[in-house]
């Protein structure tokens, strides 16, 4: 069942939930036409040093994902807490980013202030301006921050700024995607595999034939591109399904509605499915409803409006995929950052979390009978499906509760 978690699960059941999720993912991956499981290779150490149950998350990763030993494996901050943290936010214009910011400001920052570990967080917004973001990162380093977090970056555009931070002893963390810099630590899901699973579900729900609209999120961002690549791999095995066209939503419901309405106005033919990344799915749904067109099968990612529509139409889709819960993603990268500052020794460049498939029962229980199909609240699975304490501990050489740190 969904909830909207505010805390990182500390329960022992986290390991069993993760194990069950891994089994489900392995079965799904194995069912893809022509699929072959390949563990991404890397240098000695890194992902190869992780427990077997965790290594399985690295199967069929997007080529180029860094999986070697972390450059920060032997690092411990010379500065004593409370630390100053920089958050380089390149976009703020959707409900996903707002939910991530809420977890930071409403939960994590107060808790770590109380523990005497963090003094403040400096937030810089660059509004998708790469040059500005690079300048802001360098300025935060010059101003003395002890670590920097960013989200959803291009794989390469920030590498120079990340090297600048590394040269000055400031570790750099990325959530919901990866960068190719050897001086960063990234947190993400196996988004290539997620794209495969989302596509298999959609194409199954389409009956293996017909046309679909591809609603791209943020082109050029690692997580978006990996999901798209996974979908395209599966599409090759469905000769009776073709892509009717593509639009770009910028992961924003209002824009998704606008561009899908524009597409429908010039494409009167039947659309049997929509492949979309969340958030944006509610905008897609609203576009079909407003246009008076039959609502086709869609990929569903956890927004309350689509959960509401699914509750009202139980046979609409067969399964949903919650690929990147925003608060959970931010809490995971925050936990990684604090542990690294404390000297716990990250083992690998990129930490991979499992994905949580969800059912009609879970989606319908997340909304009330009086729900609204335009709702954009992002429901999130239990944190234990992502980074329980036991799973997070596996990624560090000297694991410990980060809140118990005594310098």
Averaged pLDDT, 359-374: 94
Averaged pLDDT, 246-267: 96
Given pLDDT bands bounded at 50, 70 and 90, which one contains residue 180? Answer: very high
Pairing of strands 184-189, 172-175: parallel
pLDDT, position 20: 33
Percentage of the chain exceeding pLDDT 90: 67
Q: What angle do CA 7, 96, 183 make, to 5 degrees?
A: 75
pLDDT of 2 above 80: no
Could you count the other beta carbons within 10 Å of the beta carbon of residue 284?
29
Quick one: which H or E segment has residue 99? helix 95-102
Averaged pLDDT, 329-333: 93
Given pLDDT bands bounded at 50, 70 and 90, which one contains residue 13? Answer: very low
pLDDT of 64 above 80: yes
pLDDT tens-place string over residues 234-255: 999 999 999 999 999 998 999 9
pLDDT of 107 above 90: yes
Quick one: which H or E segment has residue 321? strand 320-322
Report d(CA 329, CA 347) in Å as an integer: 19
Given pLDDT bands bounded at 50, 70 and 90, which one contains residue 43? Answer: very low
The residues, ordered by sequence, that sit 6+ positions from 23 with a Cβ below 8 Å of its Cβ are none
Averaged pLDDT, 110-137: 96
Given pLDDT bands bounded at 50, 70 and 90, which one contains residue 9? Answer: very low
pLDDT, position 44: 45
Report d(CA 282, CA 284) in Å as an integer: 5
Given pLDDT bands bounded at 50, 70 and 90, which one contains residue 18? Answer: very low
Do the domain assignments include residue 76?
A: yes
Do the domain assignments include residue 154?
A: yes
Given pLDDT bands bounded at 50, 70 and 90, which one contains residue 325? Answer: confident
pLDDT of 39 above 90: no
pLDDT of 60 above 90: no
Do the domain assignments include residue 359?
A: no
The structure tokens 């917004």 sit at 125
Report d(CA 61, CA 43) in Å as an integer: 15
pLDDT, position 160: 97
From edge to edge, which strands make up the β-sheet containing 172-175?
118-125, 83-89, 147-151, 172-175, 184-189, 350-353
pLDDT, position 344: 97
Output the DSSP codes for 45-89.
SGGGGS-HHHHGGGBTPPTT---SB-TTTT---SSPSSEEEEEEE
Report d(CA 151, CA 90) in Å as an integer: 7
Work out the widest C-alpha separation in the chain, in whole angstroms.
65
pLDDT tens-place string over residues 345-362: 999 999 998 777 899 999
Averaged pLDDT, 280-293: 97
Q: What is the CATH number of the domain that holds 56?
A: 3.40.50.2300
Do the domain assignments include residue 396?
A: yes
pLDDT of 122 above 50: yes
Do the domain assignments include residue 297?
A: no
pLDDT, position 31: 34
Report d(CA 120, CA 289) in Å as an integer: 45
pLDDT, position 385: 67
Averaged pLDDT, 35-61: 69
Quick one: which H or E segment has residue 244? strand 241-248
User: Is the model more confident about 248 or about 9?
Assistant: 248
pLDDT of 307 above 70: yes
User: What pairs with residue 353 in β-bridges?
Assistant: 189
pLDDT, position 386: 64
> Which residue range(s) make up the domain with 143?
46-189+325-353+386-404
Report the predicted TM-score, pTM, of the whole model to 2 decimal places: 0.78
User: Is the model more confident about 51 or about 27?
Assistant: 51
Helix axes 130-142, 159-167, angle to 10 degrees: 0
SS3 helix, strand, coil % of the chain, rounded to 5?
Answer: 40, 20, 40
As for how many domains the chain has, the answer is 1
pLDDT of 61 above 50: yes
Do the domain assignments include residue 199?
A: no
pLDDT, position 177: 86
Given pLDDT bands bounded at 50, 70 and 90, which one contains residue 388? Answer: confident
Do the domain assignments include residue 16?
A: no
Mean pLDDT for the chain?
87
pLDDT tens-place string over residues 183-213: 999 998 898 999 999 999 999 999 999 999 9
3-state secondary structure of 313: coil
């Amino acid at each position: 069942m969904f909830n909207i978690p505010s805390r990182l699960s500390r329960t022992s059941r986290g390991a069993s939930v993760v194990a069950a999720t891994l089994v489900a993912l392995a079965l799904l991956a194995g069912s893809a036409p022509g699929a072959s499981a390949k563990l991404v290779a890397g240098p000695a150490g890194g992902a190869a040093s992780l427990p077997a149950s965790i290594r399985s998350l690295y199967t069929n990763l997007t080529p180029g994902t860094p999986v070697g030993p972390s450059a920060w494996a032997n690092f411990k901050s010379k500065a004593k807490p409370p630390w100053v943290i920089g958050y380089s936010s390149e976009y703020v214009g959707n409900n996903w980013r707002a939910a991530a910011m809420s977890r930071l400001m409403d939960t994590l920052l107060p808790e770590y202030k109380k523990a005497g570990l963090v003094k403040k967080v400096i937030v810089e917004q660059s509004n998708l301006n790469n040059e500005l973001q690079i300048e802001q990162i360098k300025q935060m380093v010059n101003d003395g921050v002890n670590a920097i977090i960013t989200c959803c970056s291009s794989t390469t555009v920030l590498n120079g700024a990340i090297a600048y931070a590394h040269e000055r002893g400031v570790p750099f963390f990325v959530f919901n995607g990866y960068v190719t810099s050897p001086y960063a630590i990234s947190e993400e899901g196996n988004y290539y595999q997620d794209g495969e699973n989302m596509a298999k579900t959609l194409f199954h729900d389409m009956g293996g034939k017909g046309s679909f609209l591809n609603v791209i999120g943020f082109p050029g961002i690692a997580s978006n591109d990996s999901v798209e690549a996974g979908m395209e791999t599966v599409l090759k095995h469905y000769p009776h399904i073709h892509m009717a066209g593509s639009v770009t939503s910028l992961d924003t419901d209002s824009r998704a509605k606008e561009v899908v309405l524009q597409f429908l106005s010039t494409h009167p033919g039947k659309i049997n499915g929509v492949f979309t990344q969340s958030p944006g799915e509610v905008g897609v749904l609203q576009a079909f409803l407003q246009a008076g067109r039959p609502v086709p099968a869609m990929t569903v990612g956890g927004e309350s409006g689509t959960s509401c529509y699914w509750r009202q139409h139980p046979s609409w889709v067969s399964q949903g995929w919650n690929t990147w819960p925003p608060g959970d993603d931010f809490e995971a990268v925050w936990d990684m950052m604090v542990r690294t500052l404390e000297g716990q020794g990250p083992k690998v460049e990129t930490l991979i979390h499992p994905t949580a498939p969800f059912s009609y029962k879970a989606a319908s229980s997340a909304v009330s009978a009086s729900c609204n199909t335009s709702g954009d609240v992002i429901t999130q699975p239990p944190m234990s499906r992502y980074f329980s304490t036991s799973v997070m501990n596996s990624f560090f050489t000297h694991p410990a509760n980060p809140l118990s740190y005594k310098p």
